[in-house]
Amino acid sequence: MLEVSGLSKKFGGFTAVSEVSFKLQEGEILGLIGPNGSGKSTTFNLIAGLHAPSSGSVRFAGEEIAGLAPAAVCHRGIARTFQIPRPFRKLSLLENVAIAAFYGQNQKISRAKAYAAAADALALVQLPGGADARVEGLGAAGLKKLELARALATQPKLLLADESLGGLDHAEMEQAADMLAMIRREQGITIIWVEHIMGVLMRVVDRCIVLDHGEVIAQGQPVEVAHDPKVIEVYLGTDAAEVQQTVAQRAA
């Protein structure tokens, strides 16, 4: 479904993403992990069209999409959530999501259809769809669900979920993980998931890619990645034992 090869992004003399290559099969949930500043969000920005790559290619369903504008990428079926949510604060939740449906789908739809799609997306993420449901007062977990609803309303085939911002308690984390698993299962949407809490991510993903300083330092199944000495050194550190236990429990 997606083939990223030799993807690089330089900002001035600084290389944020360096020769990143990976493939994604339809139906997979892939975890994209790594320390702060390792290039995860930049990789999403390159795939989703926010940045044009300095070099490399991004093929989606056989078509080269690197360098296309964000709206064009979205119309081809790739939606993303932003690490830092920036909803339209004066609009209702329903209006926020209806805008995504109206402009993000790969077809011209009526306002009524956009609102209906928005209501469905909000129901899926378990947010209220009434005209009086406002952005104000949504906590971190609610804002993330709203991001997810906005992405889903565009009817994506591939979802890039950038969730590596703190602010969720443990129960909310587990709920977020279950929600992504449900979206894959029930909507058939392929997912790349960025998340810092490894215990939660490793429970759900089929495969992981680990970035460090913009480079892929490991990729494989959770059990392989959790025991990789380089990954332990640069990323897992003292959490390694706990992550390995999660992976072992899942395998059992």
Ligand X SMILES: Nc1ncnc2c1ncn2[C@@H]1O[C@H](COP(=O)(O)OP(=O)(O)OP(=O)(O)O)[C@@H](O)[C@H]1O
* Residues of the shown chain interacting with ligand X in the complex, contacts defined by CB under 6 A: 11, 16, 34, 36-42, 83, 164
Q: How far apart (Å, rounded) are the C-alpha atoms in residues 76 and 94? A: 24
> Least CB distance from residue 102 to ligand X, whole Å?
28
Q: How many residues bind Mg ion (CB under 5 A)?
A: 3
> Least CB distance from residue 83 to Mg ion, whole Å?
5
Q: Look at residue 16 and give the partner it binds from Mg ion, ligand X, none, a contact being a CB closer than 5 to 8 Å depending on partner kind.
A: ligand X
Q: How far apart (Å, rounded) are the C-alpha atoms in residues 96 and 151? A: 11
Residue 18 or 105: the one with the smaller Cβ distance to ligand X is 18
What sign results for the dihedral spanned by CA atoms 112, 72, 91, 171? positive
Q: Look at residue 42 and give the partner it binds from ligand X, Mg ion, none, a contact being a CB closer than 5 to 8 Å depending on partner kind.
A: ligand X
Among residues 225, 191, 162, 215, the alpha carbon closest in space to that of 25 is found at: 191
- Residue 41 as a binder of Mg ion (CB under 5 A): the answer is yes
| Site for Mg ion, residues 48 to 87, rule: CB under 5 A | 83
Q: Look at residue 88 and give the partner it binds from ligand X, Mg ion, none, a contact being a CB closer than 5 to 8 Å depending on partner kind.
A: none
Half-sphere exposure of 134 (CA within 13 A, CB side): 5
Structure tokens at 174: 């587990």
> Least CB distance from residue 158 to ligand X, whole Å?
18
Non-local (6+) Cβ contacts of 206 within 8 A are 28, 29, 30, 221
> Least CB distance from residue 177 to ligand X, whole Å?
18
Q: How far apart (Å, rounded) are the C-alpha atoms in residues 213 and 170? A: 28
Which residue is it, tokens 């892939």?
Answer: 30
Site string for Mg ion, 5-34 (x = CB under 5 A): ------------------------------
> Least CB distance from residue 215 to ligand X, whole Å?
12
Q: Which residue ranges make up the site for Mg ion (CB under 5 A)?
A: 40-41, 83
